[in-house]
Amino acid sequence: MSLTYFIIVSAKEGKNMSDSEKHLFFMQKALDMAHEAKGTTFPNPAVGAVIVSHNRVIAHGATEKCGGKHAEIVALHQAGDNARGSTLYVTLEPCCHHGRTSPCIDSIISHGIKRVFVAMEDPNPLVQGKSIKILQNEGIEVNVGLLATEATRLNEDFLWDITQKKAWITLKLALTLDGKIADYKGDSKWITSSQSREFVQLLRKRHAAVGVGITTLQMDDPKLTARCEKTFFPARIVFSPDETLPANSFFIRNASQVRSVVVLRGGEQRIETSSDGVELWHTGEKDPLRSLHSFVAMAHQQHLSSILIEGGQRLGSLFLQAGLVNRIYLFYGNKILGRGKEGLLFSSGLSIDKCITLENTEHLVFGSDIMITGKPVLS
Amino acid sequence: MSLTYFIIVSAKEGKNMSDSEKHLFFMQKALDMAHEAKGTTFPNPAVGAVIVSHNRVIAHGATEKCGGKHAEIVALHQAGDNARGSTLYVTLEPCCHHGRTSPCIDSIISHGIKRVFVAMEDPNPLVQGKSIKILQNEGIEVNVGLLATEATRLNEDFLWDITQKKAWITLKLALTLDGKIADYKGDSKWITSSQSREFVQLLRKRHAAVGVGITTLQMDDPKLTARCEKTFFPARIVFSPDETLPANSFFIRNASQVRSVVVLRGGEQRIETSSDGVELWHTGEKDPLRSLHSFVAMAHQQHLSSILIEGGQRLGSLFLQAGLVNRIYLFYGNKILGRGKEGLLFSSGLSIDKCITLENTEHLVFGSDIMITGKPVLS
């Protein structure tokens, strides 16, 4: 929820808002709806829509699960005839092409919407401003750019995937204050607070897949599920040098329940399915860094648009060294170990003058932990 | 400056304050004065005093440099006859004993002060509430405890030193986001932002001495001065296994300008002065950890009540392992190196279940850096 929203609500509740405050308020409401849906709409982006008539919300909607309706359609169906002459607030440019559903703009026009506020243009080459022009040609007033920054951040993974044709990679690390991910005995449970771990559950829910290295699978036998969301499982990915995964692992035992992928280096690029129901992705590249580059392109083709990489040391370091991490979350637990497993260990270190820095950093406190997030770039 | 203060000032400026708001306001003013003086009053604590008559500040003062006047005396001299019937706000219980100066309570009584607000009792065994009783016996109304937490935090080092008979140790570390203090080539300039480094200058100014290990001296030849304060130098301490320091180092060349100490392990506990004017402190303990325990007691006796330890890896790790760090400042520069010198490296690591955690943590952002401070305790 943006600061603007809070200010308006706290200062204006029960009072008259100015026109521009109203527009912000309703677009924020559409963004809130999109946030709610985030993580359940793959491969579609999460979109929110609000229909307003005479300063009152008469309908709202968010993208339904894959194959379901788009946000605008949900809201328009809810509004029915009342939509005539009203204003639509939508967080992403409506579609103008036939996909799983028919074009949203047809429905907007036929429902008699008079004015549309669009937070941002859809960078999908099939849309890219086309819908806006069509609506304007139909005599509908269209405003673009309200809360665009917030809308872009919300779907940063989707926007990256669709424009770059590579999956978006989020790297999460849980570190001690002295940069360790495990103590000298190898124990890592728990470095961070329960509040941090709850937030990680939310992160899992918001990604198309969760990925770990084979070592993490062997040592922790993780579930890789988003426990906060009963009905939705992100896909699970294990990066392994060979096909042999522990048969009694949670991963193998539950491969029929949820999409499960093992990423293998080398060979010829191809995808097979094992008897357990596990997809075996051969990246076609022997070199670990090249293999990851190949992986993100394969993930895009396979409709896994965003992957949350959850340590350990090796996998996180490889993704960072490959320059493939789009967003990093560093959780610092309130612990000093003095000695232990380093969170990151590159094959060759960077120098102070030329190293990785984080752009657009944000900080959040979770209990006694602090979290830093940003976009890693090589300076 | 406390939040309370801001709220009052912003909400009440130009309006009437309630009595309790006024008391907070004036005590905060006294605390502000004490903060200004912090670091220039050794071996005295930094104290602030404000005299108020008819809701107006008629005089104020802070502890003068060593041997100079106490805060109350500065303010009382400024107020002169106008002090009669007025209220004194002072951040620490006034003294009742003859030290370098005569007892402050005599002056408070003779100036006809009617009411005194004291933020906190002086834990010095020579005072410890005695002054408060004497003032009350003289018919003066005394209130104790207003902004006591803030006043305690301000002089935490002094309070520790006087009650524990050991110098207060602050450890400062400048780390990359992955916990390194130097890159793989050993470069450490600069991990943190200029804003962080400016704050470290302020930290230096607020301590009686700044300490480094011999390796840091050899590699960086640091000035160890507080550049933000032209007239004040904290004392400088180097921890060395033997007496041989580089003769052309800034430390040796300027030993006559400022108190300079070399701490040596083993031998018999004694203090000598070298021909360069350097004090050689033999701790009498060969074991590195025992030697530091001996050191903090010697520093107390030698009137160095607070020491800022500025890395490197070995010295910081030793102080933490010895359980002698009273406050740690961890500055995280916005850098990831992937490989390099670890900020801390204990001789034996701690386990997740039983490691060091920070109590009463605070976070501050300095440019693109984040700083975490707290009191390290073994959980």
Chain B nearest-CA residue for A351: B183
pLDDT 10s digits, A127-181: 999 999 999 999 999 999 999 999 999 999 999 999 999 999 999 999 999 999 9
Where does the pLDDT of residue A227 fall: very low under 50, low under 70, confident under 90, or very high at 90 and above? Answer: low
- Residue B99's CB is within 10 A of a number of other CB atoms, namely 12
Nearest neighbour of A320 by CB, restricted to B188, B336, B353: B336
| Chain B residues in contact with A370 (beta carbon < 8 A) | 363, 370, 372
Interface of B with A in 129-158 (CB under 8 A): none
Phi-psi region of A97 (alpha: psi -120 to 50; beta: other; left: phi over 0): beta
d(CA B294, CA A248): 56
pLDDT 10s digits, B147-198: 999 999 999 999 999 999 999 999 999 999 999 999 999 999 899 999 999 9
Interface of A with B in 188-217 (CB under 8 A): 188-191
Residue A11 in this model has a pLDDT that exceeds 50: no
Average pLDDT value over all residues in chain A: 91
Catalytic residue selected from B13, B36, B64, B72: B72
| Chain A residues in contact with B193 (beta carbon < 8 A) | none
**Is residue A349 less than 8 Å (CB to CB) from chain B?**
yes
Write down the pTM of the prediction: 0.90
Min Cα separation A324/chain B (Å) = 15
Min Cα separation B21/chain A (Å) = 26
**Is residue B6 less than 8 Å (CB to CB) from chain A?**
no
pLDDT at B226: 63
Q: Residue A337 and residue B343: Cβ atoms within 8 Å?
A: no
Q: What is the dihedral of CA A341, A344, A348, A350, to 10 degrees?
A: -130
Min Cα separation B352/chain A (Å) = 6
Where does the pLDDT of residue A15 fall: very low under 50, low under 70, confident under 90, or very high at 90 and above? Answer: low
Determine which helix (DSSP H) or strand (DSSP E) holds A108, and give its type and residue range. helix A104-110
pLDDT 10s digits, A182-195: 999 999 989 999 99
Residue A325 in this model has a pLDDT that exceeds 50: yes
Average pLDDT value over all residues in chain B: 91
Interchain CB contacts (distance < 8 Å): A and B: 166
d(CA B156, CA B213): 25
What is the identity of the amino acid at B36?
E
Q: Please compute the mean of the pLDDT values over residues B304-320 and round it to a whole number.
A: 94
Catalytic residue selected from A21, A36, A64, A72: A72
d(CA B376, CA B362): 13
Q: Is the ipTM of this complex over 0.85?
A: yes
**Is residue B337 less than 8 Å (CB to CB) from chain A?**
yes
